[in-house]
């Protein structure tokens, strides 16, 4: 059994689930996501490969849940070695002049406020030696991507500030750029795309794993 602890937020599906599975041989994975059934499928795959996971079916926008999560991590393990944040909210595409207020508020809550909240709670668990990994997206700034792009850009600005602030003291904070994958999020943005030409999530997770581990 490994004594290295990794928290993966957004682990229900897509890249988050693939990275959680890729980490399982070397880490005990704490998998956070909103969909219990998808987390259970991930747990089955991890156990079948000889790994172990702790499932946390939670919404990162619920402050009390995130406090409970991080307090539970501290009480059980006292630390985190790695945090991989893949949780993201994809809103419907719309012209900037016609963005729905509810869509914008939801994206802001998940993509920016939720990330900020987690940084403040997870940073003490990572300490000086831990590592946090985030993912950028080239779609930010494209036409009709105003809501997603604006909130993703704000998330990245927050992450890069944290990285600069901790460059000498730790934790180590890094941002990676995944290849296009056939995720549900991308399917909402590009419904007619040839998904066969995209990189499978498991393949991309394997490619990114050395960078995730640093």
Q: What is the pLDDT of residues 29-43, one digit of tens each?
A: 999 999 999 999 999
Domain layout of the chain by residue ranges: 5-213
What is the tens place of the pLDDT at every residue in 35-75? 999 999 999 999 998 899 999 999 999 999 999 999 999 99
Question: What is the enclosing helix (H) or strand (E) of 204?
Answer: helix 201-213
Contacts for 102 with CB less than 8 Å, ≥ 6 apart: none
DSSP conformation class of 78: S
How high is the pLDDT of residue 185? 84
Which CATH superfamily groups domain 5-213? NAD(P)-binding Rossmann-like Domain (3.40.50.720)
Tokens of 60: 């990162």
Predicted TM-score of the model (pTM):
0.96
CB 11 within 8 A of CB 31: yes
* pLDDT per residue as tens, the chain (214 positions): 568 999 999 999 999 999 999 999 999 999 999 999 999 999 999 999 889 999 999 999 999 999 999 999 999 999 999 999 999 998 889 999 999 999 999 999 999 999 999 999 999 999 999 999 999 997 777 899 999 999 999 999 999 999 999 999 999 999 999 999 999 888 888 888 899 999 999 999 999 999 999 9
Are the C-beta atoms of 56 and 66 separated by less than 8 Å? no
Q: What is the pLDDT of residue 1?
A: 54
Q: Helix-strand-coil percent breakdown of the chain, rounded to 5?
A: 50, 15, 35
Measuring CA to CA, how many Å separate 137 from each of 69, 142, 211?
A: 27, 11, 17
Instruction: Compute φ and ψ for 51, nearest 5 degrees.
Output: -100, 180
Res 49: pLDDT: 87
Predicted local distance difference test score (pLDDT) of residue 187 = 87
């Amino acid at each position: 059994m490994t004594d290295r602890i990794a928290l993966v937020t957004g682990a229900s599906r897509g890249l988050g689930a693939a990275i959680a599975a890729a980490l399982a041989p070397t880490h005990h994975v704490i998998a956070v996501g909103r969909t219990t059934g998808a987390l259970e499928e991930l747990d089955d795959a991890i156990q079948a490969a000889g790994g172990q996971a702790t499932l946390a079916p939670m919404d990162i926008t619920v402050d009390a849940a995130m406090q409970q999560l991080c307090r539970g991590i501290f009480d059980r393990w006292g630390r985190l070695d790695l945090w991989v944040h893949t949780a993201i909210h994809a809103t419907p595409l719309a012209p900037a002049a016609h963005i729905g207020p509810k869509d914008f508020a939801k994206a802001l809550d998940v993509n920016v406020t939720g990330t900020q909240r987690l940084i403040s709670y997870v940073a003490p668990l990572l300490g000086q030696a831990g590592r946090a990994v985030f993912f950028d997206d080239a779609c930010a700034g494209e036409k009709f991507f105003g809501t997603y792009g604006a909130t993703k850009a704000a998330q990245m600005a927050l992450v890069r500030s944290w990285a600069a602030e901790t460059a000498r003291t730790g934790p180590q904070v890094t941002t990676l750029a995944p290849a296009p994958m056939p995720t549900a999020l991308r399917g909402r943005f590009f419904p007619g795309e040839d998904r066969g030409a995209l990189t499978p999530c498991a393949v991309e997770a394997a490619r990114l794993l050395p960078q995730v581990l640093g």
